[in-house]
Amino acid sequence: MKETTFTVRRAAVGDEPLLRAIRIEALGEAPEAFGSTLERELARTQADWQKWLSPSATFLLETDAGPQGIVAGVPDAKDASVVHLMAMWIHPAFRGTGTAAALVQTVLDWAEGQGASRVRLDVIDENERARRFYEKCGFEVTGEFSIRALTGAREIRMEKKLKG
């Protein structure tokens, strides 16, 4: 495979249509991976998409083929030392190219800049590829788990301690 040229940038006001498009593509491709539904995302308003932008940080992976990935860093509502990594998705054509790791690293860097000491995520227990990927990124299983209300799937919690 040829080398993938890409950039990762923080989504900004004005990117709402782009966020909507990539989120809908993600839910269409891997609906089981998210805690939302296609119907819910289609019903979001412009104001709903703007809420994604603050105080959270949403990052877009852009390639010559256009936007191909998304991830969000969301500060924990009760614990300022924690940021949640959420909404992670890479177009299947770009998986295994290093682009997903770049997205995750962007959230880790952003979280550290926010003063967080840990980044957490929840991943479907049966999604071994995602679990292995997050382990390669330095995340460890915490032993905590939850059951996703929407589907009944078991999600395991993973966490990475930051240097700061």
In a domain, 92, yes or no: yes
Q: Which domain holds residue 98?
A: 6-119
In a domain, 69, yes or no: yes
pLDDT at 66: 87
Query: Tokens 């071994």 identify what position?
Result: 128
The count of domains in the chain is 1
Length of the chain: 164
How do residues 69-122 score in pLDDT, each as one tens digit? 999 999 999 999 999 999 999 999 999 999 999 999 999 999 999 999 999 999
Query: Tokens 């498009």 identify what position?
Result: 21
In a domain, 145, yes or no: no
pLDDT at 35: 85
- Alpha-carbon distance of 18 to 35, in angstroms, equals 20
pTM: 0.92
For 77, half-sphere exposure in the C-beta direction (CA atoms, 13 angstrom radius) is: 0
**Which of 77, 73, 68 has its CA nearest to residue 108?**
73
In a domain, 109, yes or no: yes
Question: Above pLDDT 90, what percent of the chain?
Answer: 78
CB 49 within 8 A of CB 32: no
Least confident of 41-45, 125-129, 133-137, 149-153: 149-153
CB 83 within 8 A of CB 114: yes
CATH number for position 37? 3.40.630.30
